[in-house]
Amino acid sequence: MRGYVQGQTVTDPETGVKQRRYRVWIRDVDRLREAAPRRDQRIRDKAEFDGERTRLAVESVAGYKDTYERFRALFAGWRSVRKVVPKGDLVQRAAPLESIFEAGNVILLRGAWNRDFIDECAQFGTGAAHDDQIAALCGLYEVSVSAREPTIRGVR
């Protein structure tokens, strides 16, 4: 499953996650720094690359509640999109992942994005400006656990 989180800026990283038995595999992070329609085309390109078996989910929250409708229109007639409504603040949502991180069961596939992701994780909860990658990871984890998905991928 690939999930989308609309950030407060157009630096929307993509977080690909695979979760299996208390292990979380983060496959890729792609920061989108384009405005629509270029951003939307890049998201469609990524969905095409993933293939039709990869389902899509998008977070719908606060000032970005229209994101779900925009994604439904973007993928109309091609892919279904699942709406994800986060419950609680991000610290609460990240709590189930804490023990997985502490046990060393978060695996990052090697990529140019690794340093930025690790830095964001290290700063999480300190009031740092950026937490979009954490939000994407939490949303995808919540979706995978609730749907009992063996594999999830995510784009923000």
pLDDT of res. 114: 92
pLDDT at 152 over 70: no
Radius of gyration of the chain (CA): 14
pLDDT of res. 80: 84
The full DSSP string for 75-93 is: TTTT--EEEE---S-HHHH
At residue 148 the predicted structure's pLDDT band, cuts being 50, 70 and 90, is low
pTM: 0.77
- Tens of pLDDT, residue by residue over 30-76, are 777 788 888 889 888 988 888 888 778 888 887 777 888 888 999 99
What's the CATH fold of domain 2-154? Answer: Nucleotidyltransferase; domain 5 (3.30.420)
Ranges 10-14, 90-94, 151-155, most confident: 90-94
Q: How far apart are CA 120 and CA 142, in angstroms?
A: 20
Mean pLDDT of 114-143: 87
Q: How far apart are CA 16 and CA 155, in angstroms?
A: 7
Torsion angle, CA of 145/150/153/156, rounded to 10 degrees? -10
- Tens of pLDDT, residue by residue over 68-125, are 888 899 999 888 888 888 889 999 999 999 988 998 988 898 989 899 999 999 999 8
pLDDT at 28 over 80: no
Ranges 1-10, 11-20, 74-83, most confident: 74-83
